A and B are shown apart, each in its own frame.
Chain A
Amino acid sequence: MKYFPLILRNVFRNKVRSTLTAISIAISLFPLMLLYAFLDLQDDMANSTAQYNRVAVLHEGGLAGQLPIAYVDRVRRQSGVKNAIPMSWFGGNYREERTQFAQFATDPKVFFEVYPEFTCPPDQIAAWQADKTGCLVGTLLAASKGWKVGDKIPLQGNIYPVDLELTVRGIFDGPETSDRSWLVFHFDYFDESLKEARAPNAGNAGIIMLRTDSASKMSPVMQSIESSFASSDAPVKPMTEKEFGASFLEMMGNVRGFIRMTATAIVIALVCVAANTMAMAVRERTREIAMFKAIGFNQNTILGMFLAESVAIGLLGGLIGGVGTKFLFWYIDMSAVDPGLAMFYVPWRTALWGVALAAAIGLFSGLIPAWRAAHVSVIEGLRKVV
């Protein structure tokens, strides 16, 4: 530890260079944090839903298939099922424009039994349940659209040949990792509109979301549901909410792989930048290092000093880039880019991982220059004019 002041001085000796290196590491860390936060958040969301023991029941043919609404009651009666609701994807256009926020027709009476993590003032819930055209909007969606209770939301059918006009009756909130950028409305209102328009797909529950009594009931419930509908007109495929979420990620295809590849390129570029700086620091100090050796410093001390220096620069960049990105995204509203990103934030573990990565990059990039510094021959070093 007695070398600490010396190392610190070395770090700041060439201020321009150390600053440029730290900043270039910090800046390159920024997209890296963004990419990893994106992947981490997806995983976090998938994992956080696991505790609610929910199962999604789909048509065997996937999302495009249709499940009769009567299936909801049949599913609800299965033993081990706490409750079940239809979740019909409406996918309407808002103000003639294609929306990217989710709209689901569901059963308001038991919605919160299936989604207990969401909270909403009781009077708003009651108002929603009482108003057939009412809807409940997630906080993030409400904030990005500037909606408040009482606002009208006209939705033009895209999948279905009907237009709906919803009224915001309440705003629901939920934990940090939950998606709060969607809205729910009455299935009855939706279905009656379809019947009025004589749409062929009336009476279709879309997917059915159910919650089991406990985690251990999930797999028996899934098995019994699958077998009890096996010979019907619309055979079903139940999957846990986590698997269901994963199927959406799978739809993105190689995009996740592409993100990882880009991230790797960024890391390699970072190592090059940092290594370059350290190499310069060594070259410039050849004489000085020889002097150190001449007065009795051993190789390991010199090696350690240089490594510590490069780790310190990496760490500095890591703190600015990693923790800085985390704080930056408290202020940046990503929903302007894509409403699906309304809940984007950088988790602590991603930020800290970035800091650690930057330190590791410092260590790795310092290895060769530090080794070279430690092995400078005293005579050669002293003679050398840089």
Chain B
Amino acid sequence: MVPLKYNVRSLRARKVGSLMTIFGIAMVVWASIFAFGLSSGLDKTLEIAAEPLDVIVLRKGSTSEAVSAVTESAAREIKALKGIATNAAGTPLAASELVVFAYLPRRGAEIKVNVSVRGVDSVSRALRKEMTIVEGREFKEGVREAIVSRAMANRFQDLGLGDKFKVDGAEFEVVGIFEAGGGAVESEIWTDQAVLAQIAKRTGAMSSMQFRAASAADQERLINHIKNDEQIDLGALTEKQYYAEQAAQSSLIKFVGYIIAFVLTVGAMFAVANTMYGAIASRAREIGTLRALGFGRFSILFAFMLESLLLCVTGAALGCLAALGVNFLLGGIQTGTMNPGTFTEVAFSFDFGPMILLQGILLAVVMGLIGGFLPAFRAVRMKVVDALREV
């Protein structure tokens, strides 16, 4: 085996060229990680929102809460069904909720976008991942007060603590900021249901109903029951399905991200091949010497492939570090986009988790293997005599 030290030194000997390539690869990996991180961040936000045993009930045909309607009588009937989990006091964990839009400008922008305002009842909180008020206080029932997520408070002009915003012409005051460890609820404003219903002139019907099934078997049975009961006449699906469908709506962003990563990887392969061809061409004599010393063809091939991998993985590591560095400096890259399924704002953070970084490094390994193969193969094919004769 050719010692690894040889390859490391070879890369060092041709500093500028190696650095250029490493830097180029780092940029490619960096761009890819951002593309992966964007779509994964969006998916995760929706994924976190889903509790495995939760069911969401909508009007038949509706694909999002915002356009659905569930009558009070249907909601009462569902609450009375057996198989819904209960809290310590014996109240079923089922909440009908009202979702309306507020039309608000993002910070630094003139144009307004739709933001979901959720009117919640007393059980709603129990159905969500832990929500904690980090600033201010809880909203009071019966008054025009609201709590907003930290992410939304940061993104929207009128959603800071103490600010006022309008829903259907009525003014609400932001009295608290909450955090919920990510998830769709962090794209929402919460307020008292009765107050919101009165302002939105929605009486007799809420937007959706959510409940937690006592077990997986109950969940399936309840979904089928709701779908087939003609009295209720509503659609039901697990929260997981609901959010998976929402996530599928962002397929365009994902597609663009992946195509960029793929094409850039192919482009970078050529760059790697180029560097390695150069490296090998200028070292023909060395290769001849190595062969004359008795290193076999395979170990030469292996050594050059390794060199190419080293180049790429170093680049990838740099790219990952850069992405993590930017993320760290900004304290997590928060952004938001429109959920094309509901036309409302989803706030989310880029995901630079281990899986995403691993994907970036894998890309680099592929670049190194494919880009390095042909040049390394060429090195192996050289005849010892010719190689030694080369100037």
- Please report A residues at the B interface, Cβ cutoff 8 Å: 16-17, 20-21, 23-25, 27-28, 30-31, 34-35, 38, 60-65, 91, 93, 98, 100, 156-159, 161, 163, 243, 246-247, 250-255, 258-259, 261-262, 265-266, 268-270, 272-273, 275-277, 279-280, 283-284, 337-338, 340-341, 385-386
Q: Which residues of B contact A61 (CB under 8 A)?
A: 101, 103, 168-169
Contact (Cβ within 8 A) B391 A385: yes
Cβ of A261 to closest chain B Cβ, rounded Å: 7
How far apart sit A24 and B260, CA to CA, in the bound complex (Å)? Answer: 14
A/B interface sample: 21 pairs, CB < 8 A: A24-B269, A27-B267, A28-B267, A31-B260, A31-B263, A61-B168, A61-B169, A62-B114, A63-B343, A64-B66, A64-B100, A93-B61, A161-B69, A251-B338, A251-B343, A254-B336, A255-B253, A262-B31, A265-B34, A273-B21, A273-B24
Contact (Cβ within 8 A) B31 A266: yes
Please report which residues of chain B, range 67-119, place their CB below 8 angstroms from some CB of chain A when the two chains form the complex. 67, 69, 100-101, 103, 106, 109, 111-114
Contact (Cβ within 8 A) B255 A28: no
Q: Which residues of B contact A158 (CB under 8 A)?
A: 61-64, 67
Q: Which residues of B contact A159 (CB under 8 A)?
A: 62, 67
Cβ of B57 to closest chain A Cβ, rounded Å: 15
What is the interface size of chain B, counting residues whose CB is below 8 A from a CB of the partner? 65
Cβ of B313 to closest chain A Cβ, rounded Å: 17
Contact (Cβ within 8 A) B111 A250: yes
Q: Which residues of B contact A275 (CB under 8 A)?
A: 20
Q: Which residues of A contact B63 (CB under 8 A)?
A: 93, 98, 158
Contact (Cβ within 8 A) A258 B59: no
Q: Which residues of A contact B343 (CB under 8 A)?
A: 63, 251
Does B335 count as interface, using CB distance less than 8 angstroms?
yes
How far apart sit A262 and B257, CA to CA, in the bound complex (Å)? Answer: 10
How far apart sit A283 and B66, CA to CA, in the bound complex (Å)? Answer: 65
Contact (Cβ within 8 A) A247 B270: no
Contact (Cβ within 8 A) B21 A255: no
Q: Which residues of A contact B61 (CB under 8 A)?
A: 93, 156-158, 161, 163
Q: Which residues of B contact A243 (CB under 8 A)?
A: 111
How far apart sit A363 and B322, CA to CA, in the bound complex (Å)? Answer: 27
Contact (Cβ within 8 A) B114 A64: yes
Nearest CB in chain B to that of A97: its residue: B63
Q: Which residues of A contact B391 (CB under 8 A)?
A: 385
Does B266 count as interface, using CB distance less than 8 angstroms?
yes
Selected interface stretch from B135-143, B217-225, B274-282: B274-282
How far apart sit A28 and B266, CA to CA, in the bound complex (Å)? Answer: 8
